[in-house]
Amino acid sequence: MSENSPVFLIDDDKDLLRATKQTLELAGFGVSAFSAATEALHALRVDFAGVVVSDIRMPQMDGQQLFARIKALDADLPVILVTGHGDIPMAVQAIQDGAYDFIAKPFATDRLVQSVRRAAEKRRLVLENRALRQAAEQAQSDLPLIGQTPAIERLRHTLRQIADTDVDVLVTGETGSGKEVVASLLHRWSRRANGNFVALNCGALPETVIESELFGHEPGAFTGAQKKRVGRIEHSSAGTLFLDEIESMPPAIQVQMLRVLEMREVTPLGTNEVRPVDLRVVAAAKVDLGDPRQRGDFREDLYYRLNVVTLSIPPLRERRDDIPLLFGHFADRAAGRFKREVPAISTTVRRHLREHDWPGNVRELSHFAERFVLGLESATTVKSDEAPAADEGLPLPLRVERYEAELIRETLSQNNGDVRRTIEALGIPRKTFYDKLQRHGIVRGDFAGFDGDDRRGS
């Protein structure tokens, strides 16, 4: 609907400006009137949700010049030019350049109103499409940090807060929890996104190789060094350096790395040349480096140098409510990759998703989803992996609570999250149903279209 759509109206003829403003306001538009193009341009914002209507013949900045400036600001913003008879060739050229419409003076009020209404509708669609694209890009950029649990929401919020700073970050989390994903998001959401994201697993290289990989070398620096090599640190300058499993970094390299972090400079092997680097380091560890018993021979001063900001990724077993969303995403991705349909999800598989401890975290869940799509995860296979019933030894009231929560989840799953059908199947009032959802921490949307009809990916 175009009612109440904003309109910027520009005309140096004050009488005509006042009359046209009244006409558009009577038609339901919210009109801001300007007697000079420069005033309108100063007030215009890139997210302006309406239409610009401007006379062509004006002092200082005319309508054509205004249109050119608006086009540079937002090429999709509709501009309607009002012309005198002698300005028609000029207006035709503006139309060819992308102006929405031109109206010759004198004009019927209906002609102007209809043109503005169509332009406002076009603007509304443009902005809606932009919002949808932005939401899709946002969802894609967050993957696989999918989740609605408080821990993941806090993590995403913190990432947004610190991404555009140059602060070094230490990321902790179990194997497969997504530490490199976090590092990658810190890079992509920062002003360093146009630089290189350089990743190095410190536990995957021997000491004789890691020094050259990090610092680079000159020809002849050691046997086999036939040509110059730029190290990972220098290559990441103006970008982000991600050091995974930093607890595995050899002690001698730790000393050199400490100096790099303090001085922001690097000296390649085989030269005395000191090269400054614009460095941002994200380090990841599988252990708690703040605990001396887990830190081992990792230098305490290097730990404190890296520990400006620490981000902790919760294991999957501590955010079980996110598992259906993650599984749905991974299953969809696997189906596209393998050119297969996502199979129907049995109650046994659902129970496995809920009750399995997922020691391999998100990586393990991703591989499980791939095997599921390939038909390699049968009910028998899943059952054989299950631990003994989780409620053994619990008091009867707690067992009843767990059984009730499981029954609600299964009924929601069977009905693809449809509230009406679920309530009918359970035989309880709607208010009681929602009270139980809240008490058990069940998110109805997690089950919407979970069989593939409308699976959520964000």
Do 301 and 167 fall within a single domain? yes
Do 71 and 95 fall within a single domain? yes
Which range is least confidently modeled, 19-28, 307-316, 402-411?
402-411
Reported as a single tens digit per residue, the pLDDT across 88-113 is 777 777 788 888 998 988 889 999 99
What pLDDT shows up at residue 405?
82
Contacts of 248 (CB under 8 A, 6+ apart): 202, 203
Is the residue at 141 inside a domain? no
d(CA 119, CA 99): 11
What pLDDT shows up at residue 132?
63
Reported as a single tens digit per residue, the pLDDT across 346-400 is 778 888 888 889 999 999 999 999 999 998 875 545 654 444 445 556 677 777 7
Do 221 and 99 fall within a single domain? no
* pLDDT exceeds cutoff 70 at 163: yes
Please count the structural domains in the chain: 3
Q: Which domain holds residue 170?
A: 150-314
Reported as a single tens digit per residue, the pLDDT across 363-374 is 999 999 999 999
Return the H-helix or E-strand segment holding 41.
Answer: helix 37-43
Do 288 and 158 fall within a single domain? yes
Do 174 and 101 fall within a single domain? no
Do 13 and 77 fall within a single domain? yes
Do 58 and 32 fall within a single domain? yes
Neighbouring C-beta atoms of residue 218, cutoff 10 Å = 15
* pLDDT exceeds cutoff 80 at 120: yes
CATH number of residue 126's parent domain: 3.40.50.2300
CB 264 within 8 A of CB 277: yes
Quote the percentage of the chain above a pLDDT of 90: 44
d(CA 433, CA 427): 9
By DSSP bridging, strand 216-217 and strand 51-55 are unpaired
Do 62 and 108 fall within a single domain? yes
Question: Position of tokens 């992996």?
Answer: 385
101 burial (CB, 10 Å; 0-12 / 13-18 / 19+) is: buried
What pLDDT shows up at residue 148?
82
Of 439, 449, 458, nearest to 418 (Cα)? 449
What pLDDT shows up at residue 221?
76
272 burial (CB, 10 Å; 0-12 / 13-18 / 19+) is: exposed
Neighbouring C-beta atoms of residue 208, cutoff 10 Å = 9
Domain-terminating residue out of 281, 298, 314:
314
298 DSSP assignment: S
Q: Which has more pLDDT, 222 or 43?
A: 43
When pLDDT is cut at 50, 70 and 90, the band that residue 261 belongs to is very high
Do 301 and 419 fall within a single domain? no
What pLDDT shows up at residue 66?
93
Do 310 and 323 fall within a single domain? no
When pLDDT is cut at 50, 70 and 90, the band that residue 77 belongs to is very high
Overall average pLDDT of the 38-57 stretch: 92
Domain-terminating residue out of 106, 136, 166:
136
Which range is least confidently modeled, 211-225, 288-302, 370-384?
370-384
Do 113 and 253 fall within a single domain? no
Is the residue at 145 inside a domain? no
* pLDDT exceeds cutoff 70 at 309: yes
Domain-terminating residue out of 136, 160, 177:
136
Is the residue at 452 inside a domain? no
Is the residue at 457 inside a domain? no
First to last CA, the chain: 29
d(CA 54, CA 48): 16
Do 255 and 392 fall within a single domain? no
Which range is least confidently modeled, 197-201, 209-213, 307-311, 442-446?
442-446
What pLDDT shows up at residue 168?
94
Overall average pLDDT of the 253-276 stretch: 92
Is the residue at 295 inside a domain? yes
Reported as a single tens digit per residue, the pLDDT across 418-433 is 888 889 888 888 888 8
CATH number of residue 293's parent domain: 3.40.50.300
